[in-house]
Structure 1
């Protein structure tokens, strides 16, 4: 059995992907970049250090990249954070993981202050043993940094953990850290994309993972 479960947050535990995509789309348009909602959404799951270079030239990044990211952060917190809700059965799933004897970590590309708020919204702050945010890592997903920091805080190797995430970036990052990944479809990526990124198991969402816990990677 694994010794720990490492959860992504946005799109995995919280229904927030569309809201993040809206904030990025609005920021891009405000600063003169023709980036659609759909284009922005396809990159959610990575941090700003990966998302911004995907759409902006090096010159544009130097000129207003930091200002745009700051505007996006303020926009999300003021307009969209109040709308974020957890997916069904999230606290129940984490309690089941805890009762199975696994330690629980979250590994998110969000900033530390955002992550603390997310755990409160999800109702799981008291169930999490270790948190890792973009403030702890040099590179965001699909770089393995965030997962490697989580493993270090847990004091275990990748083979002793299972990651749960909704994007190909989660699976790629976890795989580079030697961690098997359970993909969930609730974040909007296709099942094929999750398998292709290296997921060892794919489930519709947290509630299904809870219902099928005994047959999942978390229990074997």
Structure 2
């Protein structure tokens, strides 16, 4: 009985993952911590509270965790104007909304970043609600953000659209099906093993296939 569509924002609707990775690399460099960009990129999609110990280790988290997250915000602020929406983002949201679903744009980002991205995709007129980091006690791959997104619109069941394995894992913990796009850099196999029911190369491809997904029509 799906009545709600939950769209991840970063990496799914806007092409921001590589800016996030570069911002984290520069934040680490402030503390003479060297991590290869490929490894940093593999962690994009996790919340910053999980990201630092996962990528750099528990000792780095204990010594510099909050300072690194503050440094990341400063570095990302300098890159945010480079972020562009993915082709077809607004059109996909508009069609899902027109089909009758409650629409939630779910981000665990800072409010100022989320608002900027929603403006990029002209998402505010379409969304019934949206989330930020303030709406989840625990970040992905924990399910708090998905649960909050459903609660904001009083939804009974949802389909998640995301770009990372962490989206699929978080949604799966609430028995929410995930439609994944490869825009986050994860392989088809990784996304399906994490729980995605279908994987698409682009938002345009997903829109063309909506009738064959849980977002065909609200139950």
The separation in 1 between residues aligned to 2:178 and 2:7, in whole angstroms, is 10
1:29 is displaced (CA, Å) by 2.1
Structure 2 partner of 1:26: 26
Q: Does the 8 Å CA contact 1:45/1:109 hold for their aligned counterparts?
A: no
1:59 is displaced (CA, Å) by 3.9
1:91 maps onto 2:90 in alignment: yes
The separation in 2 between residues aligned to 1:60 and 1:53, in whole angstroms, is 7
Structure 2 partner of 1:193: 190
> Structure 2 vs 1, CA of residues 212 and 55 (structure 1 numbering), >3 Å: closer, same or farther?
closer
Structure 2 partner of 1:176: 173
1:61 is displaced (CA, Å) by 2.3
Structure 2 partner of 1:8: 8
Structure 2 partner of 1:210: 207
Look up the SS of the partner of 1:115 in the other structure.
helix
The separation in 2 between residues aligned to 1:22 and 1:85, in whole angstroms, is 16
Structure 1 partner of 2:47: 47
The separation in 2 between residues aligned to 1:183 and 1:153, in whole angstroms, is 22
Look up the SS of the partner of 2:125 in the other structure.
helix
TM-score (norm 1): 0.94
The separation in 1 between residues aligned to 2:40 and 2:201, in whole angstroms, is 23
TM-score (norm 2): 0.95
Q: Which runs of 5+ in 2 are unaligned?
A: none
Give the superposed CA RMSD: 1.3
Look up the SS of the partner of 1:218 in the other structure.
coil
1:217 is displaced (CA, Å) by 2.1
Look up the SS of the partner of 1:170 in the other structure.
helix
The separation in 1 between residues aligned to 2:112 and 2:199, in whole angstroms, is 30
Structure 1 partner of 2:145: 146
- How many residues were matched structurally? 217
